[in-house]
Structure formats: C-alpha cells, structure tokens
Amino acid sequence: MRFKSRISFSSNPDLTPLIDCVFQLVIFFLLTLNFSSDEQSELIRLPSSELAKPAEGVLETPITIQILSSGIVLFGGDRMTPGALKEPLRRERDAIRNVLGRNVKNATIIIRADQDVSTGIVQEVIRLCQETDFERFVLRAKWERP
C-alpha cells in the first residue's frame, strides 16, 4: 500500500506593509488626540459676552484655574476651596522658576469660572494668585457675535 506524500507549503508573508499601516494609524490618532481635557471641565458653563474675543496667540506659560458654580476650585485635577489654592499655586510658581527656569511674571493665569459663580470668589482667586507673584490674568467667556 502506497501513501501519497503530503506536500507542505511554508509561507513567509511580508509584514512590512502591515507594520507601516499600523504605524501610520498610531501616528494619526496621536496627532488628533485632544490633551486639553484637564484644562476644560464640562461642569463649567462659561458666561456669554459680546466683548469677549478669542485669544490672539499662544500663551508662554498658561496655568488654568476653573471655578464651579458651587465655588469649588479645580486646579491640577484636584478639587479644593479657594483658600486651599495658595499652596498649589506656590508649588506651581516654584516649578516655573526652578524647573522651567522661566520668570513667573510671564506666566498667565487662565480663569474659567461658571456663569453662576459669585464675583467675590473670582476676585478671591485673583487675589491669591497675586499674593503668589502671578500678574497676568485671562478670564474666559463664550464669545457671541453682535
């Protein structure tokens, strides 16, 4: 009795096009990824203003502080009262000076306050920032065209 020998084929596919395609997809998604989610909380409804205009350039050292309608401050991913903001601001100031080697006077504090937050709380946050040597401020609002 004779058995037929099985013919086996060995295939070595070229994976280079597949690797190129995967690499291009990874690069595409990295470039389109929005990293600013920490800087813009969805819990905040900005006030509307006809006078507010979009920013005209890139800020050198932006620092975002957000204030919820309840008066709670969001800074660096943490929730705190306005009074507790002083120590994190000092750490931020020291990091700008010592790590980045930049002047704190050139840093810009971006304040995103909810439309229902009390003006006194915003003023308190600005005062705490000024006590920590920050001088430049930007108040965010929704721009409505007249």
pLDDT in tens, 4-30: 667 767 778 888 989 999 999 998 888
Is 28 a domain residue? Answer: no
Domain tally for the chain? 1
Beta strands in 50-114 (DSSP E): 61-67, 73-75, 78-80, 107-113
pLDDT at 75 over 80: yes
Is 29 a domain residue? Answer: no
Is 85 a domain residue? Answer: yes
CB 126 within 8 A of CB 85: no
* CATH number, domain with residue 136: 3.30.420.270
Q: Which domain holds residue 62?
A: 42-143
pLDDT digits 0-9 by tens, 93-102: 888 888 888 8
pTM: 0.63
pLDDT digits 0-9 by tens, 96-129: 888 888 888 888 888 888 888 888 888 898 899 8
